[in-house]
Amino acid sequence: MPKPGKKRSKLDESSDSDSGPEDRTPVKSRKSDASSGSTAKTAPAKAGGAGAGRSGGGGNPAVEGQEPTWELGKMKKVKVREWRNQVFIDIREWYVDRSTMEEKPGKKGISLSAEQYQKFKTIIEEIDAALP
């Protein structure tokens, strides 16, 4: 009998957790903002491949939909994104999905809040000084 109780409590905890429903909500809102729900994820990825080539990494953003993007190097990009009414600076590796040949965001990366990004900008000179 304790096992079903534990399973129920785990299910209750997971359903009560803040990360589950909140993570799903922005995806739904993005799909509702896009003109077609099925291509909401794939359209920016395709534009990312074409837009990244146009930006050239010279500091000019390529606007993909509504996300300014800068290319740092091979398959590494910086994007300014809005999520849950907050602005984030997303620095991430990208990969090409072999089945669809679309660029998609990888797991390696970081999203900085605007406050964290401002703090990062203030210490960038110290970081430069620490480099060999």
Mean of pLDDT values over 30-41: 39
* Predicted pLDDT of residue 63: 58
The tokens describing 32, both together, are 């509702």
DSSP 8-state class, residue 131 = -
More confident residue, 25 or 104: 104
Over residues 93-106, mean pLDDT: 93
End-to-end CA, the chain: 62
Q: Are strands 76-83 and 103-113 parallel, antiparallel or unpaired?
A: unpaired
CB 95 within 8 A of CB 109: no
Q: Report how many domains make up the chain.
A: 1
Domain around 70: 2-130
Residue 38 pLDDT = 37
Half-sphere exposure (CA, 13 Å, Cβ side) for 99? 1
Q: What is the CATH number of the domain that holds 18?
A: 2.30.31.10
The pLDDT of 77-83, averaged and rounded, is: 91
